[in-house]
Structure 1
Amino acid sequence: MNLHALKIFYTIALTGSVTQAAARLNISQPAITAQIKKFEKELNVVLFEPKGRGVALTLIGQKLIEPVGRLFTLENRIESMIEDYRIHGSGKLHVAGTYLATSFLIPKWAARFKSNYAETEVTITTANSQEVLDKLMNYVVDIAICGGEPEFYPEEVEREELYKDEVWFVVAPDHKFANRHITFSQMVTEPFIMREEGSATRERLFALCRTNRVQSPRVALQFSGLNETIHAVASGYGASFISSLAASEFIRRGELARVYVDKLFAMNTISLCTRKNEKYEPCVKAFISIVHENLDGINSK
């Protein structure tokens, strides 16, 4: 397939205009038009149709845009890796983690890593579990650290379990369920403050509802961060379902309270993920070694 023509297609799709694509690619407008016509003829499909002063994707064009975008994201990542290695010698390390991982686990590992490999630039990104895995699969990051049950992970991911953590129901200290033992059915009648879709703990709660054949709780408030969720619950509205690693300090200080749901014991498994069958760069191997060397303190909490 003609990758140059594919890039032209992608640029036109992003800009919605042959003129703007020509300016971005530094190619004349007639040349771009001719190459797209030739490309459509080779593929025997129509990719664009006129729309106002610009163009719009046809149905097949719309289907192609996502995989083509992933292709060029990978191309940019490869170019960036080569450039990083050329400039920095030891390269850059890109790690993505969930809010729990980047708040409680990764900072210690990153500090140890930098003390040994000061010349390596380390970038840490925070996102929910699904977004973290997407970044890994799209070669945006080298390592992903996130939570979720085994079936949550794509087959292309190599997963190593690092830490098992209880997941607790929490409310404000003056809530009617604070420090009480109740049934799961009672618990899910409360309005819940939850993370966004793609959060492993959110998916875990809904899976428990399906398993126990109870109606999923109403998501009254939704936040894209763990701290925001905790503070909203502490403010006195609703309940949430969060990691004990994140909740325990707030409970110790009296800002949150547990709710003990009878016959329900939920665990969150935090895993280190890489791309399957991929040879690790030296900095990736070194970071993983540091993670292994510093697990005891976490698992003893």
Structure 2
Amino acid sequence: MSINLHALMLFYEVALAGSVTEASKKLNISQPAISAQIRNFEKQYGILLFEKKGRSLVLTPFGQKLFKPTEQLFIVEEQIRSMIGDYHKHPHGKLRIAGNYLATSVLIPKWASLFKQQFPQVAVEIATVNSQAAFERLTHFEVDIAIFGDSNITNQTGHSLHCLELYSDEFVFVVSPHHQYANQQISMEQMIKEPFIMREEGSTTKKRLIEVCRAQQVNPPNIELQFDGLNETIQAVVAGYGASYVSLLVASQFIRRGELAKVDVEGVRLINKIVLCSHEPAYLEGYIRDFISIVLNNKA
């Protein structure tokens, strides 16, 4: 049984807009035409999608159930439109990469430069997001490659991805060089009494800090400042306030310049694996496989 996708689209737009009137304005289709097609759709399949409450239309329980998969359907449709558009705009290809701050600030610039030297006609688009968002963009086919520092994310069920471990990084506690704990060894109980500056929810570092606290059987520290970016987080610590828990690959350049100092916390050492994920290589365009080869040959 084929589905009337046009009527389904009208249902989705009305549900999204909250009224036939607003959907009509957006789609430039008359209100009677929209209402008639939705009624025919309901009659055809023996279902009820909307019910009136006063002057408003609300989704029935089945309408609510149908909304999410319908939304996913039209998200995929938009992704297909975007892919076709990219194909025509970029006849030699477009490489889309998502990475966390560590990847896009420390690792990817070198690889992207080497890639463009070999493939100057391929467009390259790089987005900085947290690790969870990079993974989700890949699973939704919004990017071709995701590079991030949380290999546990790849264990989420329902996704068939090809992942390669690039580095074995480490998380470290950092403070300003003028902080009382700079380059000192202290207990976890002392460390968590400090005000912390951390990334947003969904960031790898924040999740790892909570894991460390749980393993050490202490309550997580107070997060006094929270930023959407790692650079902002580090700069706040450099300025002299509080402590943070960050990737050593990122922090090392600040430590070498004397802008940050490590804190050696007794009994705490957490390894952070940096991974590159893509869909199955056999189904990738050649230039995506070439980028992966460049990464593997230039990890040092």
When normalised by structure 1's length, the TM-score is 0.90
In 2, are the aligned partners of 1:201 and 1:268 still within 8 Å (CA)? no
Native 8 Å contact 1:90 1:283 kept in 2: no
Match of 2:164 in 1: 160
* Alignment pair present for 1:273 and 2:273: no
* Letter in structure 1 aligned against 2:223: V
Could you say if the C-alpha distance between residues 277 and 241 of structure 1 is closer, same or farther in structure 2, counting changes exceeding 3 Å?
same
CA-CA distance at 1:239 after TM superposition? 0.9
CA contact (8 A) 1:8 1:32 kept: yes
Amino acid at match of 2:229: G
**Residue of structure 2 equivalent to 1:69:** 71
2:288 is paired with a residue whose SS is helix
Q: Give 1:34's match in structure 2, choosing from 24, 33, 36.
A: 36
Cα distance change on mapping 1:113 and 1:151 into 2, 3 Å: closer
Q: State the partner residue of 2:188.
A: 184
**What is the deviation of 1:42?**
4.6
Report the Cα distance in structure 1 between the residues aligned to 2:46 and 2:214, rounded to whole angstroms.
47
CA displacement at 1:82 relative to structure 2: 2.2
Rounded to whole Å, the distance in 1 between the matches of 2:46 and 2:185 is 66
Inter-CA distance 149–228: structure 2 relative to 1 (3 Å threshold) = same
One-letter amino acid of the counterpart of residue 138, structure 1: H
One-letter identity of the residue aligned with 1:268 = N
Q: Which runs of 4+ in 1 moved over 6 A?
A: none
Structure 1 pair 81/96, CA: closer, same or farther in 2 (3 Å)? same
Task: Quickly say closer, same or farther: Cα 1:153–1:277, change in 2 above 3 A.
Answer: farther
After superposition, the C-alpha distances for 1:90-122 in whole angstroms (9 at most, x for unaligned) are 221111110111101111111111112222111
Partner of 2:231: 227
Compared CA separation, residues 219 and 76, structure 1 to 2 (3 A): same
Identify the range of structure 1 (52-61 vs 172-181) with the bigger mean alpha-carbon deviation.
52-61
Inter-partner Cα distance in structure 2 for 1:238 and 1:63:
46
Letter paired with 1:293: N
Residues 58/100 of structure 1: CA separation in 2 closer, same or farther (3 Å cut): farther
Structure 2: 5+ residue stretches without partners = none
RMSD: 2.2
The residue aligned with 1:218 is 222
For the residues of structure 2 that align with 1:287 and 1:51, how far apart are their CA atoms? 55
TM-score (norm 2): 0.90
SS of 1:105's partner is helix
Identity of aligned residues (%): 52
Q: Distance in 2 between matches of 1:92 and 1:53?
A: 48
**Partner amino acid for 1:234?**
V
Contact 2:87 2:93 in 1 (8 A): yes
